[in-house]
């Protein structure tokens, strides 16, 4: 069968692979477009395996919201460079993944990767994207939120790198967005002190106690010092204890009380947080290449 330029063009658009690779795949499948796509996906998966060990600490945080604004999904998708993070193919993939999370409600990332997306699985689409952009791509994590009766969902993205979603009991969309913006800027650990992990609190108390003991003051005074520092620490890390970014004279807790609202939960993602990034030494890299040559 004759492989035409239009066939090669269509396969390139569908797979993002090079012209010669597309022509070869079509020749091997006797011009069967679907078989050629499958063959290219297998090729893409092989390329993906080779890139799987590379550190992917760049990327985007994307949010999908249902039409009635009662359900939201937030996803972090990673790649290796900021350049690829801005690529339209990468952005399209990330947004489609968020839509799948919103509609399919998978239990975890493994279940998500097996979901269908645009005629293939999410994992197959990921492999095809790796073949197209030439970098490791990973769907790292996701969260789904659903507003209870009378509740409000809000979300905010700071560029493509920080995403926040919040579920309010009461309140309105404007308040929800304000709370999201505050969370993006102030990084609270949890909503209030009842949600602070006990091991984190114990660790801080131990540190404060050691610092206070060095003052040489009586034990009862040391205990009061520790109690005061713990109170200040809780105000710093809890959402309701923090000064509201738009009006530092009031806490977020006071803002919510005034609106008759409560924060049921929030999610804050920042691209690459917790991922150990590789430190590049350009001079050493050039020297190594020179020696190799």
So what's the pLDDT on residue 292?
Answer: 55
Mean local confidence (pLDDT), 144-166: 91
Residue 54 has what pLDDT?
76
Look at residues 23, 241, 59, 237 and name the one whose alpha carbon lies nearest to residue 137. 59
Taking alpha carbons only, the member of 117, 66, 82 closest to residue 96 is 117
Of the candidates 183, 176, 157, the one whose C-alpha atom is nearest the C-alpha of residue 61 is: 157
Tokens of 145: 């939120």
Separation of CA 220 from chain center:
46
254-271 in b/e form (b: 16+ CB < 10 A) is ebbeebebbbbebbbbeb
- The percent of residues in the chain predicted with pLDDT above 90, rounded, is 57
Q: What band does 12 get if pLDDT is binned at 50, 70 and 90?
A: confident
Domain extents for the chain? Answer: 5-51, 57-146
> What is the C-alpha radius of gyration for the chain, rounded to an integer number of angstroms?
25
pLDDT confidence bin for 38, thresholds 50/70/90: confident
pLDDT digits (tens, 9 = 90+) for 188-198: 999 999 999 88
What residues contact 222, with CB distance under 8 A and at least 6 apart? 209, 212, 213, 215
pLDDT at 284: 58
pLDDT of residue 144: 95
**Per CATH, domain 5-51 is 3.40.50.300:** no
The confidence score (pLDDT) of residue 254 equals 97
Instruction: Give the pLDDT confidence score for residue 176 in this predicted structure.
Output: 94
More confident position, 104 or 223: 104
- Gap between the Cα atoms of 111 and 124, Å rounded: 13
Is pLDDT above 60 for 174? yes
**Predicted confidence band at 117 (pLDDT cuts at 50, 70, 90)?**
very high
Distant-in-sequence, close-in-space partners of 23: CB < 8 Å, separation ≥ 6:
3, 8
Q: pTM value?
A: 0.74
Class of domain 57-146: alpha beta
Handedness of CA 198, 274, 71, 128 (dihedral sign): negative
User: What pLDDT, on a 0 to 100 scale, did the predictor assign at position 45?
Assistant: 52
Q: Is the CB of residue 110 less than 8 Å from the CB of residue 76? A: no
Q: What is the mean predicted confidence (pLDDT) over 143-154? A: 90
Report pLDDT for 52: 67
């Amino acid at each position: 069968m004759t492989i035409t330029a239009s066939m090669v063009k269509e396969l390139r658009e569908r797979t993002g692979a090079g012209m010669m690779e597309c022509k070869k795949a079509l020749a091997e499948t006797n011009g069967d477009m679907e078989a050629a796509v499958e063959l290219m996906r297998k090729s893409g998966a092989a390329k993906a395996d080779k890139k799987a060990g590379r550190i992917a600490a760049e990327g985007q945080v994307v949010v999908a919201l249902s039409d009635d604004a009662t359900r939201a999904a937030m996803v972090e998708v990673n790649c290796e460079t900021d350049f690829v993070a801005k690529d339209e193919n990468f952005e399209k993939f990330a947004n489609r993944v968020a839509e799948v999370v919103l509609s399919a409600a998978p239990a975890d990332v493994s279940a998500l990767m097996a979901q269908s997306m645009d005629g293939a699985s999410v994992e197959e689409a990921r492999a095809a994207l790796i073949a197209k952009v030439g970098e490791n791509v990973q769907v790292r994590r996701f969260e789904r939120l659903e507003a209870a009766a009378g509740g409000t969902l809000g979300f905010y993205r700071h560029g493509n790198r920080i995403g926040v979603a919040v579920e309010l009991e009461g309140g309105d969309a404007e308040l929800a967005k304000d709370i999201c913006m505050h969370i993006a800027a102030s990084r609270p650990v949890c909503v209030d002190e009842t949600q602070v992990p006990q091991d984190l609190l114990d660790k801080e108390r131990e540190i404060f106690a050691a610092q206070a003991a060095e003052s040489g003051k009586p034990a009862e005074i040391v205990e009061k010092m520790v109690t005061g520092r713990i109170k200040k620490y809780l105000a710093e890390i809890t959402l309701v204890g923090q000064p509201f970014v738009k009006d530092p004279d009031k806490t977020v807790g006071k803002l919510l009380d005034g609106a008759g609202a409560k924060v049921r939960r929030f999610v804050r993602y920042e691209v690459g947080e917790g991922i150990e990034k590789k430190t590049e030494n350009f001079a050493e890299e050039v020297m190594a290449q020179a020696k190799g040559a």
